[in-house]
Amino acid sequence: NQIPQPKPKNTKKHAAIFNKPTSRQRQTIRTFTMIHLVSLLLIISSLNHPSYASKTPPLRNRKLSESDKKGSSIENTNEGGAMTGGRLRTTLCADKCKSDCKTYVTPLNECYNGLIMFPDDESWGQFDIMDVTMTDYTMPGQQFQRNFYETTDGSCGEAAGGQIPGVPTDDFTLPFGECVGPFGAPRPWGTMNTLDLVEEE
């Protein structure tokens, strides 16, 4: 009488969860971790340095005015006037930030959709965007990260009851105050500046 031996477990079936992640998976993990790290740094920075905190309530927590729904656009100008708040002023131009310019004001550190804010404007794509400022604990950074999401409704694929954005499908880093490009038509060159502090003309 032989004692029945237990069947060997199918190690191949479970081996996949221990495999080294692919480069795409590593990038997704890094991006997701970076978003949460930047969010945490922003919270810490706003607690320690309230002057850098956004003075504008988040769009999703307040009633939208008609100007909020349409966004803010200043035709044919290269520089806007004095403004305050947690906003990004983007000036797009046809010729290396010099001519045929149009200025837009969008939220910082909040999800938005360019086509919802600026209907029928060729400068904006269909996908949601979040422009995330970068800090070094003591002062605002000199650049920001623009994240793109697969959603098109201004939600950025929010999770956890709207507290955490989804995972971006693409992102890149842009400097403040420098002419960058070329991007897409009709105005491929742009300059971005934060409107957190009062600007003097």
What is the predicted pLDDT for the residue at 7? 53
What is the predicted pLDDT for the residue at 3? 57
d(CA 156, CA 154): 6
Considering only CA atoms, which of 11, 39, 24 is closest in space to residue 147? 39
pLDDT over 70 at 176, yes or no: yes
Question: Using one digit for the tens of pLDDT, what is the confidence trace for 33-80?
Answer: 566 566 655 555 555 444 333 333 333 333 344 444 445 554 433 333
- List Cα–Cα distances, 30 to 19, 25, 62, 167, in angstroms: 17, 9, 32, 10
What is the predicted pLDDT for the residue at 94? 93
- Share the mean pLDDT of the chain: 69
pLDDT over 80 at 99, yes or no: yes
* Predicted model pTM: 0.55
Confidence of residue 168 (pLDDT cuts 50, 70, 90): very high
Average pLDDT over residues 120-124: 92
What is the predicted pLDDT for the residue at 133? 87
